[in-house]
Structures are given as C-alpha cells and as structure tokens.
C-alpha cells in the first residue's frame, strides 16, 4: 500500500476504516495513472489540536491489488473490534432545554454522525422533565449497553450518575440509605457531551475529564474508549441518602444560590448572578460542623478505596511522563 505522504496513525486513535470508491478523475491523478485498476481504503483518525481539542481527520491509502486492499481493511477492522474498551452500543440522554436549547441539534449534527461512522449503535432518549433520565435508568435493561452518554451540563451528568449508581446498588440489593454500606462499583461508563455554547456555564465535568468543553472532542474520546476514573462521595442526612457527587457540594450560602437559581432556569446562565446577589443581600447566617478522616499515606489511586489526595494516580502518571520527556532530551528532572 502507498500514500502520497508519510502518515503514522496509532491504532488506538483510529475511528473507522472504510473502502474508498475511486472516481475516474481520482484515478487519473499523478502517478496513479500507472495503475491499471487502483484500489484504496480510507482511515478516519483522531487529529489532536491545541488546547486539548480533537477533530476527525482522514487519510487514504492506495493499493494496486484488490486482495491486498481488502486484507488491510479486514485486519484494521479486526483490531478495532478486539478493543473491548471501545463502546458498541450506547444509551444517550439529551436535555433539550439546556444550552439555549441547542442540545438536540448539537447531538444530531456533530455527535451522531461520528457515532455512526464508528459503527456505534445508540438508543436516544429526549428528557421531558427533571430526573427523567434518573428514573429511566431504573427501568431500562442496562446490561445491553456499554455506556451511557448525557448531552447536557453538569446537572445532567449528576442526574445520570445518580441514576446509574443507584441502579447498580438496587440490582445488588444494597441499601443506599445506610452510610456504612459498601457500594458496588459501577462497571458502566458515563460520557458527557457539552450541550451548547453557554460561556457562563461552569461545565466542570467536561473540563476536569476531557480538558475542554467541546462536543466533538468529547464524542471522539467516547469512540476510542478513553476512561477517566472519578472519586464519588455520598451525602447522607438522618440515615437517608441525599445525593452522590463528583465535583462539589454546596452548603449554606452556595446551597441557597443553587436552590434559588433552579426556580429561575428560564433566565439562562444569568440566573446564577441574579441568585448570587439576591442571596448575598439576604445576609443569612449559617452554622455547621465538619468532620474528616486524615489520610494514612500520601499516595493513592482513583480506583482504590481511599479518599482522593495529593499524589494520586493521575498526578503520579503525569509526573512520570514528564520525567520520561526530560530523560529523552537529556534534562534533569526534579
């Protein structure tokens, strides 16, 4: 096989491989005129840009022999099929009201074509009310899916996460209201797709897992099977589970802002500023007691049973990569 330019594509970054139909005009370009009947296949792959942004690019390889061309296509497709980390069937929840009502359009125009290209089948649910996705996760046959994708913001992710973790505990017969009950680890991954261009929205989960709030980048991470472990905490009150959380908890002033802003979702992102000023001017006084358990050692991993701390797996891995980078260039790493 030959290509006009040198091209190196890691199999872990291949999105799809397809046979390329060559037009008569294409066959008459340059040195391909020498081929009696050229054959080609196209590899779609991840192209990494600045600021953690990913895009789908493609490169076409030409072959003089049809059998050789088919061999390459079959071999590459088998490699992708053998990668068990890549999803084959996804359950997608779309919040049609978030992100200036762009969620459905963004999914259909930017995400769905990429999933189709990667041969990922999807079942799409358009949420109609608050906790629709959470309630639905307790009813669907969750075992037939490789992952759950939510198209929305942090609130949508929280809803799907709470529904999925709750479903796992229910199926395992675990009482979530018992603060001391050991929880069953969730084996199904969650993907999050940014719902729209609301620059005032925090999109904390997107930035902390993917590095950028961009729907195409998130979709490509899902396609290639990337996984970012997250620590999850459970909040209880009087032996009753309130919620699971992965980003932040609000009590007092911040909690009142969120509570008031939820009643004014029609205002869009401006509701946070309005509720913040309103709550500040109310001059509420809050009391509370905080207790914590000190860490036993300084090293840990998101997959262990200990609390998150400095020196976790992600930081350690980044430090190791930096050391290897310096070593290749003969620099001293400190």
Rounded Cα gap, residues 136 and 148, in angstroms: 12
Known catalytic membership, residue 203: no
HSE-up of residue 62 (Cα within 13 Å, Cβ side) = 19
Rounded Cα gap, residues 91 and 113, in angstroms: 16
239, two tokens: 């032996």
Catalytic annotation, pick one of 154, 203, 214, 256: 154
Distance of CA 276 to the CA centre of its chain: 30
Residues 6+ apart with CB under 8 A from 238: none
In degrees, to the nearest 5, what angle opens at C-alpha 279 toward C-alphas 276 and 206? Answer: 35
Question: Which residues are designated catalytic?
Answer: 154
């Amino acid at each position: 096989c030959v290509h006009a330019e040198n091209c190196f594509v890691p199999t872990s970054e291949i999105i799809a491989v397809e046979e390329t139909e060559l037009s008569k005009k294409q066959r008459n370009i340059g040195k391909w005129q020498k081929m009696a009947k050229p054959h080609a296949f196209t590899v779609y792959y991840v192209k990494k840009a600045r600021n953690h942004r990913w895009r789908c690019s493609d490169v076409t390889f030409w072959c003089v022999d049809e059998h050789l061309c088919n061999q390459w296509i079959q071999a590459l497709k088998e490699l992708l099929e053998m990668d068990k980390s890549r999803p084959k069937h996804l359950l997608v929840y779309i919040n049609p009201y978030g992100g200036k009502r762009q969620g459905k359009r963004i999914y259909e125009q930017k995400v769905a074509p990429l999933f189709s290209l990667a041969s990922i089948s999807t079942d799409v649910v358009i949420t109609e009310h608050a906790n629709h996705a959470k309630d639905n996760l307790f009813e669907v046959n969750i075992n037939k899916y490789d992952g759950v994708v939510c198209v929305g913001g942090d609130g949508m992710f929280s809803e799907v996460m709470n529904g999925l973790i709750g479903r796992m505990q229910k199926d395992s017969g675990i009482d979530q209201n018992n603060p001391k009950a050991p929880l069953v680890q969730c084996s199904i991954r969650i993907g999050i797709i940014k719902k729209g261009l609301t620059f005032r929205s925090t999109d904390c989960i997107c930035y902390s897992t993917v590095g950028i709030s961009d729907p195409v980048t998130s979709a490509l991470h899902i396609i290639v099977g990337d996984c970012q472990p997250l620590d999850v905490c459970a909040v209880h009150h009087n032996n009753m589970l309130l919620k699971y959380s992965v980003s932040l908890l609000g009590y007092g002033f911040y909690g009142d802002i969120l509570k008031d802003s939820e009643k004014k979702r029609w205002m869009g992102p401006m509701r946070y500023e309005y509720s913040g000023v309103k709550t500040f001017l109310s001059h509420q006084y809050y009391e509370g007691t905080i207790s914590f358990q000190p860490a036993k050692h300084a090293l840990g991993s998101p997959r262990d049973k200990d609390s998150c701390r400095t020196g976790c797996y992600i930081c350690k891995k980044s430090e190791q990569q930096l050391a290897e980078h310096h070593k290749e260039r003969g620099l001293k790493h400190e």
